[in-house]
Amino acid sequence: MKALLLRDLRLAMRSGGGFGLGLAFFFLLSVLVPLGVGPEGGTLARIAPGILWVGALLACLLSLDRIFALDFEDGSLDLLATAPIPLEAVVAVKALAHWLVTGLPLTLLAPGLAVFLNLPAGGYGWLVLSLLLGTPALSVIGAFGAALVVGLRRGGLLLSLLVLPLYVPTLIFGAEVVRRGAEGMALATPLALLTAISLGAAALLPFAAAAALRVNLR
């Protein structure tokens, strides 16, 4: 399992399909929104939680089609499916690798980019916490979507259409955590729901993704 994780991390770094592209997209979105909306600090402060979460969501989406596509093209996925390792564990490891090269860097970068959006000082810690809790769900849900379209030519658009509706609850509660934290409001409910989404996705979706892979590999 460790060898598979390290292999996926090396491939992600070498191919450049998600790591640098996702961070660059997140950076550009955070810089361009203030230019388009205007320099009004109050307006930027109100929309900052939503913009930061939308940016993180779309940045994660950019590299989802590569989770299984490279292994499918070179035949490695067939070997993994017949290996002694459960296919559900393979899906979980690949989702973890995706989070380590996309979700975690985005979480670390987000406080610096929040400055451009004039996020209130009270929201920075909650921004990091919400991304730490929410981005794993984005990777696991994305792995499930990637398993559904593996082997399809130009399945990236279909993947986006499948995954985006599933991302909506995470987006809503993640942005709500940041908004409430910035305004000093009680945030136990959205924080608990965000955590529950990530834990539920991590517990259930690897099995669904593994079943989808088995069907597509027949």
- What local confidence, expressed as pLDDT, does residue 188 receive? 93
Q: Name the residue type at position 143.
A: A
Higher-confidence residue: 23 or 191?
191
pLDDT digits (tens, 9 = 90+) for 92-137: 999 999 999 999 999 999 999 999 899 998 899 999 999 999 999 9
Residue 52 CA, distance from chain mean position: 13
Question: Nearest Cα to 173, choosing from 50, 60, 83, 26?
Answer: 50
Q: How far apart, in whole angstroms, are the C-alpha atoms of residue 76 and residue 80?
A: 6
Q: How far apart, in whole angstroms, are the C-alpha atoms of residue 164 and residue 81?
A: 27
Give 161's contacts (C-beta < 8 A, 6+ positions apart). Answer: none
Give the global pTM: 0.91
- What local confidence, expressed as pLDDT, does residue 218 receive? 78
Does residue 157 carry a pLDDT above 90?
Answer: no
Does residue 18 carry a pLDDT above 70?
Answer: no
